[in-house]
Copies of this chain bind each other. A is one copy, B any other.
Amino acid sequence: MRQFVVLAHELSASASIGLGDLPGTGRLDLLCRCVTSALLVSHDVREDARIDLVIDGYVVRFDGGSVRRLNPDERSTAALIRDALAERSEAVGAIPATVSPGVSVRRGDLEGTLERLDGTLVELHAEGRPIAEEKPPADPVFVLSDHRDLTDAEAGLLSARADRRASLGPRALHADQAITVAHNYLDTDGFGRY
């Protein structure tokens, strides 16, 4: 299983989400691209992948193994996120509410999300070792931020729990681009054999 966690810093769970201005709605455009990068390839879904969007005390999960009707464009994915957030009051305690096949919402933050995830936590960091220097773990978890840096608290939490610290290259990438590169690293057994 490949897992991605993306932290949204500007989107409110109670935001009024129109679909005409996604960047102006807490950079929802960026979150949508992350979902596409995490779960879709050409004419296919990555069934062994899932992505958690941590949004203002809630976690919207897209699971590649069960998602249906996921298209690559930003707008249709934004509608799915909007619908998930609209159902957030249905999520009681730690129990997620399923919104549509493969899409759910639950209460949660970064700390709770990391506690729930099994796997090798890879911290992507500009000062990490080039990721190609080590072979991929079997069940990696990558945590990414939106267009804003991690807060000090988030960065501290991640550093404390990370199993590896790695860098994807010399350029700081968009979160969705980082997901695409991470998938390619995994697909090719560390940019090598396949």
A74-133 interface with B by 8 A CB criterion: 74-76, 130, 132
Residues of B near A20 (CB, < 8 A) are 20, 75
In the complex, A30 has a CB within 8 A of chain B:
yes
In the complex, A33 has a CB within 8 A of chain B:
yes
In the complex, A12 has a CB within 8 A of chain B:
no
- Count identical subunits in the complex: 2
Nearest CB of B to A65, in Å = 16
Residues of B near A177 (CB, < 8 A) are 37, 41, 180
Residues of B near A41 (CB, < 8 A) are 171-174, 177
In the assembled complex, the Cα of A20 lies from the Cα of B61 at a distance in Å of 26
Nearest CB of B to A90, in Å = 29
- B184 engages A169 (CB within 8 Å): yes
Output the nearest chain B residue to A176 by Cβ-Cβ distance: B180
Count of A residues near B, CB < 8 Å?
A: 41
In the complex, A164 has a CB within 8 A of chain B:
no
Sample of 16 A–B contacts (CB below 8 Å): A20-B75, A22-B75, A23-B73, A29-B73, A29-B75, A41-B173, A41-B177, A42-B174, A43-B147, A44-B172, A72-B174, A130-B193, A132-B191, A169-B188, A171-B183, A191-B191
Q: Which residues of A contact B (CB under 8 A)?
A: 20, 22-23, 29-30, 33, 36-37, 40-44, 46, 71-76, 130, 132, 147, 168-174, 177, 180-181, 183-184, 187-188, 191-194
